[in-house]
């Protein structure tokens, strides 16, 4: 019988904690990418606004989220004016 997962991060992660962290980083990365695409900034302009280098931004735009901590993504998102909030269900 095959195992079923609630989402892809649960399938790829060894622990629930790791899956939650990856899910949050993925959500933040997607918000940053949407914001940059909506503004039509060049990678150079966007990188300057994010406070990171253009090659680092390129990593993010190519989906290499494992290279970014949750803190780094929060900082990037807020630098772009995103309102970052975490919802915790109990």
Give residue 1's pLDDT band: very low, low, confident or very high (50, 70, 90): low
Distances (CA, A) of 45 to 36, 48, 53, 68, 72: 9, 5, 10, 20, 18
pLDDT surpassing 90 at residue 13: no
pLDDT surpassing 60 at residue 10: no
- Per the structure, the count of domains in the chain is 1
Q: What percent of the chain has pLDDT over 70?
A: 86
Its pTM surpasses 0.75? yes
Quick: pLDDT tens for 51-70.
999 999 999 999 999 899 99
Cβ–Cβ < 8 Å for 47, 53: yes
Domain assignment present for 1: no
Give residue 11's pLDDT band: very low, low, confident or very high (50, 70, 90): low
CATH no. for residue 20? 1.10.260.40
Distances (CA, A) of 77 to 11, 28, 60, 61, 85: 26, 7, 12, 13, 11
Domain assignment present for 87: no
CA-to-CA distance for 84 and 90, rounded, in angstroms?
Answer: 20
What's the domain range around 30?
Answer: 8-79
Number of CB atoms found within 10 A of residue 84's CB: 14
């Amino acid at each position: 019988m095959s195992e079923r997962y609630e989402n892809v991060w649960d399938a790829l992660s060894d622990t629930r904690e790791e899956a939650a962290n990856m899910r949050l980083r993925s959500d933040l990365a997607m918000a940053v990418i949407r914001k940059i695409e909506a503004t039509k900034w060049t990678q150079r302009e966007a990188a300057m606004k994010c406070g990171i280098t253009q090659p680092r931004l390129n990593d993010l735009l190519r989906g290499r989220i494992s290279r970014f901590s949750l803190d780094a993504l929060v900082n990037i998102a807020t630098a772009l004016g995103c309102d970052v909030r975490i919802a915790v269900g109990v």
